[in-house]
Structure 1
Amino acid sequence: MSSTAQDTAAELDRRYGRTRGNVRRTRGIVIGTAIAFVVALVAWLVWGGLLSANSDFEVVDTGHTVVDDTLVQVRYQLTVAPGSTMSCALQAQNSTFAIVGWNIVDVPASDRRVRTLGAEIRTTELAVTGLIYRCWLT
């Protein structure tokens, strides 16, 4: 390549930011961004996976029976470590999904891991469903 062609190429490289300094700076930005991404990903995985509470229990609605205008029976299956006590909030809803009954049930400790339980909910009007709202360890 002739001296003029090299000068022209060097001038074009300077004009469009393809100098050695710019290449190093771009490479540094890319490497820094990749390192920051990896650090953020590892921190998120540790915070979300290792530090979060494990699922200590599981509750599944298994059915309900509307006894009359003022009473609903709710059945549910509870899986929890033996010896754990819990409380569950149960609710009854009418046809417009309004809550018409509410009951908090204390579940005593047992030596069995999986249990099928039931409870009654008194209602203010005819309910069409009864279900578990939330459970927690006590």
Structure 2
Amino acid sequence: MTVTPGVERELDQRYGRTPRRASRSRWWAVGVAAAFVVVLVAWVVWGGLLGRPAQLESRDVGYVISDDGREIDVRWRLTVEPGTETRCAVQALSDSFAIVGWRIVDLPPSDQRTREFRETVRTVEEPDTGLIHSCWVV
């Protein structure tokens, strides 16, 4: 079926497919894309470049389970700005990942950026592992 140019123009006008409408739709698309780019750039600058670096970092070093299985020595390394008082939660886990021991440890400020700690945690049953749960600035 062939449509003549006059009929095609009438159909385009009837259903809103005019050159003016197409131009307007393109401008809307360009405007929305530009707004998205502005918001994305602002977010990256605000959150990534201007944001403060991480306050602290803690890493598990190891653990030793006592002979009777009632306590565990957990060792970890803490990196924090010198002079910052911190607090850490140390936990002991069973083989089913249940918490069988927990202790909050206050760490005094120091002039060293990275320090290593060792803490003994008493447990209610034999632990399978010990690790640092989290640390925060006091």
Category of TM-score, reference length = shorter chain:
0.7 to 0.9
Compute the TM-score of the two structures, normalised by the length of structure 1.
Answer: 0.83
Q: Distance in 2 between matches of 1:37 and 1:59?
A: 37
Give the Cα–Cα distance (whole angstroms) in 2 for the partners of residues 47 and 115 of structure 1. Answer: 31
Displacement of 1:54 in angstroms is 2.5
Is residue 2:81 matched to residue 1:81? yes
Structure 1 stretches (4+) deviating beyond 3 angstroms? 5-18, 50-53
Q: Which residue of 2 aligns with 1:112?
A: 112
CA–CA separation in structure 2 for the residues paired with 1:19 and 1:94 = 71
Name the CA distance, whole Å, in 2 between partners of 1:98 and 1:6: 76
Q: CA RMSD in A?
A: 2.2
Residue 55 in structure 1 maps to residue 34 in structure 2: no
**Mean Cα deviation higher: 44-53 or 26-35:** 44-53
Q: Which runs of 5+ in 2 are unaligned?
A: none
Distance 1:8 1:95 in 2: 78
Deviation track 1:23-79 (CA, whole Å, cap 9, x = no partner) reads: 232122112211231233134324532565530111000000001321100000111
The residue number in structure 2 matching 1:127 is 127
Segment drifting more, 9-18 vs 127-136: 9-18
Q: Which residue of 2 aligns with 1:69?
A: 69
Number of residue equivalences: 134
The normalised TM-score by structure 2 is 0.83
CA–CA separation in structure 1 for the residues paired with 2:94 and 2:19: 73
